[in-house]
Amino acid sequence: MDNIRFVLVVVFAMLSILLWQAWQMDYGPKPPMSAIEQPIVNTKADLPVDGAATTEPNNTALPVIDATKGKIITVKTDVFNVEIDTQGGTLVNLDLVKYPVDKKNTSVDSIRNTLGLDKSEKNLTPIRLLNSNAEDLFLAQSGLISNSDSAAAANHHSVFTAAQDSYTLTEGQDKLDVPLTWTDNQGLVVTKLFTFTRGDYAINVEQKIANNAQKPWNGRQYTQFIRTPYTDPAGNSFIRTYAGGVVYTEESKYHKIKFEDMADEDFAATTTGGWSAMIQHYFASAWVPPVDQENHLYTKSLGDAKFVIGSYSPIISVAPNTEAQLKAQLFAGPKIQPMLEKVAKGLELTVDYGWLTVIAKPIYKLLNFIHDYIGNWGFSILGVTLCIKLLFFPLSAASYKSMAKMRKIQPRLKDLQERYPDRQVFNQKMMAMYKEEGVNPLGGCLPVLVQIPVFISLYWVLVETVELRQAPFALWIQDLSAQDPYYILPILYGITMKIQQGLNPAPIDPIQAKIMKMFPIVFTFFFLFFPSGLVLYWIMNNTLSILQQWYITKHIVGEEKPHHVAH
């Protein structure tokens, strides 16, 4: 069993699994959303439920917010364009101004112009993370839940007032405060303050409660997202990443909660600190409560394919003629790991490498380290590939030596096959030859087995790293996260794969040999649709493997004396 055949079979199996998962997600049977058919019982079903705070029933449909009650406040910073509804102080739209949906390719436009064609149409508007559109609904809500013995306080259905209709972070200004105010006209005043910081994707949210009434106010703060299931409109059918709910607790650490799981049953957990989030490819939105308090994390299915994930705080008491502040952070932005680590413990895990995180994180750090010196993500990928090849050089050398020996005895194996048509006799003679020549038929496979987790980890690093999104490499490759517009890289990959095949011992079975010859064509077709960064990695990996394998094969074949044919 030779090395390259084993690698190709493994990679082919991986591609088959990815294709099957993509087909299942697009066309396979969908799990039933049991909550969709439940009746509307009340208009506060989207509020968190706690026995001490409210008796509202759970699992009911989301009320339709009356747009005439509130007005939209616009906020512009260097990283956000935000719209806040004064009804509830809910963030209803949030655009990431530094992350356009598409990127122009000047090389493609230049060629189209030369051919007399119009420039390719690109959507240059910013990525909209939070969205008030009914089909893509994704809102960030916050509010207060009063105990049954206290006056009702402001939740995300209450109408606030604002001093201005728009706020802008001006040049030279580092922070921008956006206050909203609510009162029950009986002494209870709630001020919801959003603080935006230059260059920061974390928004500080403070709810100040001023109790000027005669009775104490007792209650909790809650923060939550409401969202419909997300599908990436520009998603690659060959590459699927997780989109759904996530919570982090000190006990269970990082825990994904799919929309289907939310539909089946509500999630509930209590932890010190923690956070709740909705994530998608490259971007995350997370509510982060104070780390030093006990928080209750929850999910709810509201019907009509709407789902809630969030947390609420412990009960606080605000005595008459006193004030209290309840704080939280809202992160909404790209999944850049060093930035996420500063926001909350474990938030960097939203860059989801699955069970290979322990290997993938060091690879990501190496990629960043090289980029700090080179300044080009494409060359950083080449640098990481070189480092990994150097790390596994001894294993690869052992594998290629085994293949070189197999290649050298290949003519003798064919001779044996012709002389001994009986399969059992042929196998006995073949094993005797292996023993005589000191060839281990598994010697080319075992070193590769050790390397497979690293290869898969690197694959996920390149898929999940938002820094590679729309990052240029050179010449016509101006977006490493997009496929090659001219398909040059996939063709180069096919060529390197064919060259590498030529250095390996061909299968004795003619049918197997024909199948193996088709592999470069099949994989070239698959790679036509892969991101350029991934294809660049494989070209570099194949090229280094060819050089190493050529040298070892030439050295062994050229210096070792041939043995006589075994009889």
Could you tell me the domains of the chain?
Answer: 35-348 (2.70.98.90), 360-408+442-558 (no CATH)
- Between CA 301 and CA 33 the distance in angstroms is 9
Task: Among 106-110, 354-358, 437-441, name the one with the lowest average pLDDT.
Answer: 437-441
**Does the structure show a pLDDT above 60 at 255?**
yes
Selection from 191, 161, 197 nearest residue 85 by Cα? 161
Q: Which residues pair with 141 in a beta bridge?
A: 224
When pLDDT is cut at 50, 70 and 90, the band that residue 448 belongs to is: low
Phi and psi angles of residue 219, each rounded to the nearest 5 degrees, phi first: 175, -170
- Between CA 51 and CA 60 the distance in angstroms is 17
Provide the residue type at 386 as one letter.
Answer: L
Question: How much is the pLDDT for 399?
Answer: 67
User: 36: how many CB neighbours lie within 10 A of its CB?
Assistant: 14
Provide the percentage of residues in the chain whose pLDDT is more than 90: 42
Question: How much is the pLDDT for 271?
Answer: 92
**Does the structure show a pLDDT above 50 at 39?**
no
- Which of 205-214, 417-426, 468-477 tops mean pLDDT? 205-214
**Cα–Cα distances in angstroms (integers) from residue 220 to residues 33, 35, 190, 237, 288, in the given order:** 30, 27, 13, 44, 15
Instruction: Judge contact between 96 and 126, C-beta under 8 A.
Output: yes
Question: How much is the pLDDT for 199?
Answer: 93
The three-class DSSP label of residue 428 is helix
Instruction: Judge contact between 86 and 65, C-beta under 8 A.
Output: no
- Is pLDDT larger for residue 277 or for residue 70? 277
- Between CA 87 and CA 69 the distance in angstroms is 7
Which tokens in the block code for residue 53? Answer: 């705070």
Determine the length of the chain.
Answer: 567
